[in-house]
Structure 1
């Protein structure tokens, strides 16, 4: 097996180690391998390919991190054909929430979510994807 060196904040390493211990993993490498497989596989649902989809993407970040808000606005403009709605709100005393509603194909939605996730200083990225075509949520078109 190839050994890969990855840089991450100490807090994340501690969370991975605690997770591994609590859930019976042999160590952090096993946790990272499983997380990587899950991340790489999450947009591989064949039932969603070649279909019109909608997605809701929610991003949480610290309100003092203006670079995240600027990046969100930039992505909104870069993907104006995909983003059909966008909502910004303050959450709690220190956080902002950015919500995107998307309509498009799986590849475009996957790329958009990837760019959001790659934005430095986001605290949380959550999303859901579902078909909006006439065949229902997971029926295969004939």
Structure 2
């Protein structure tokens, strides 16, 4: 088995420790392996979808990173043909939460999701898509 090193923010580590304890994992590596397997399954599902879809994207990012906010706005406007509507909330004094309603080709929506996921400063990108 390979050994790797991962850097994560301390607040995320605390949440990880809590899940490890609550779910009864024997060690953190076991939890990380299961998390990676779950992510890879979701990744495969997204990649295997074809045709048209409708749904929403949820985006959480920090207020402290002005570049992130500007980049997300830029991505939103670059994808007007996919984003049918959006809602912006100041979740708390440190975070924003956006919901984008999307409709279009699954391939293009997936590319949009990947672009958001690789934007520095994003804390969560979720989606729920339905083929139409």
TM-score with structure 1 setting the length: 0.74
User: CA RMSD, aligned part only?
Assistant: 2.4
Equivalent residue, structure 2, for 1:137: none
Q: Which runs of 5+ in 1 are unaligned?
A: 133-142
Number of residue pairs matched by the alignment: 131
Distance change in 2, residues 1:33/1:111 (3 Å): farther
Whole-angstrom distance in 1 between the partners of 2:115 and 2:30 = 26
Distance change in 2, residues 1:94/1:5 (3 Å): closer
Whole-angstrom distance in 1 between the partners of 2:99 and 2:15 = 27
Larger radius of gyration: 1
Are the equivalent residues in 2 in contact too, given 1:49–1:105 (CA < 8 A)? no
Whole-angstrom distance in 1 between the partners of 2:99 and 2:83 = 10
Whole-angstrom distance in 2 between the partners of 1:117 and 1:92 = 21
Are the equivalent residues in 1 in contact too, given 2:61–2:96 (CA < 8 A)? yes
What SS does the corresponding residue of 1:15 show, helix, strand or coil? helix
Are the equivalent residues in 1 in contact too, given 2:57–2:100 (CA < 8 A)? yes
Q: Which runs of 5+ in 2 are unaligned?
A: none
Tell me whether 76-85 or 18-27 shows the greater mean CA deviation: 76-85
TM-score with structure 2 setting the length: 0.79
